[in-house]
Structures are given as structure tokens and as C-alpha cells.
Structure 1
Amino acid sequence: MNVSHLCGTVFEELYTETPLMSQAFVKEDDAQWLHDIDPTMNALINYLTRENNGVRVYEKRVYLHPKANKEVHEMSNGLAYFIDDNGKWDIVW
């Protein structure tokens, strides 16, 4: 018996005998949303670094938003973030 035939047969048996699970029930990599992380600078940096495929994201500058009177953190990924009134991170648009 040829090896490629054997591998194909094993794959076919596994594939047909294993029930397929709906993607709706599969959790991928403990995915998080920005609003799910703790309202700390360390949590933001870790989250943004994960979202940036492991390339470190750092804080470039911090300033007070003149109208909202919120501390804004401008990051190396080109976006600025602040903590909203609910204590959740958000993006300055």
C-alpha cells in the first residue's frame, strides 16, 4: 500500500467521522475588544502590541483634550486613546 493512499484514507476517515462544530461556538485566541481591557496604560500597551502582531506599541505623548477635559494618549500606532466616562478605553476620532 502506498503512503499517500494511506494518508488520504486516514484523513477521509477522520474527516467523515468527526462532527463539524459551528464557527459560532469557537473562541479564537481569547480575542478581546478595546473596551474589555483594564483602564491602565500597561493593559493598553499589551493589548495594542497583541493587535499589532507582537510589534511593540508605545506611548508617544500625553495631553489633555481641551473640550472633553480627558487625558489623551497618542500611541505609536498612529491612534489616540482615552478613558471614557464609563472607565473604558476608547479611540479619539
Structure 2
Amino acid sequence: MTLKIHRSFKEPTSIRIKKRNGKYSVSFCYEDGLDESDLLSQKDHLKYLKKASRKDLEDQTIGIDLGVKIPAYAGDNIFDFSKEQIVLCNLK
């Protein structure tokens, strides 16, 4: 398995290896040092969202439609396969 490193990193706190449809993937988990007691609870998030106007909520959210020919539509954006992925799909 090859590893593409995008930036420097510390030793992970856990590594998870999964096999799905005959393909392996690896997930690395790191301790971020964030004090979770400073985060809002789900109840506090809901209180905050209830105070927002419909326009504010619509400005902060986007629906994503997953497709077959085109992987994802998100608002006015289309996220298509890369050229390499299209070539691989056509080889099958």
C-alpha cells in the first residue's frame, strides 16, 4: 500500500484499516488537543439555530445530490470524476 503525505504529521493515536469491495483504506486518528468542554452541546446548537432566520439557515446550508454519472451536485456546483477516474471506469 502506498502512502501520499501532504504535510508533516505526528504519530497517530489510532489507525483503522478497512476492506470494502475488495479495496483497502486506512484512516489515521490524531489527538487534536481541543478541550471538548468548550464546544456547544447539541441542545445549545439547536437553541442557536432556532433563533436564526430562514434566510440565514438557507445561506448556511446546501443540499448534496449523489448521482451515478456525475458523482455529486451541490447547489450550483457539480463535482465530476477526475480524468483518471473516467479512464478507469471506461476500462471496466
Shorter chain as denominator, the TM-score bin is: under 0.3
Pick the structure with more strand per residue.
2
Q: Which has the higher contact order (CA 8 A, sep 6+)?
A: 1
Normalising by structure 1, report the TM-score.
Answer: 0.23
Normalising by structure 2, report the TM-score.
Answer: 0.23
The structure that has the greater radius of gyration is 1
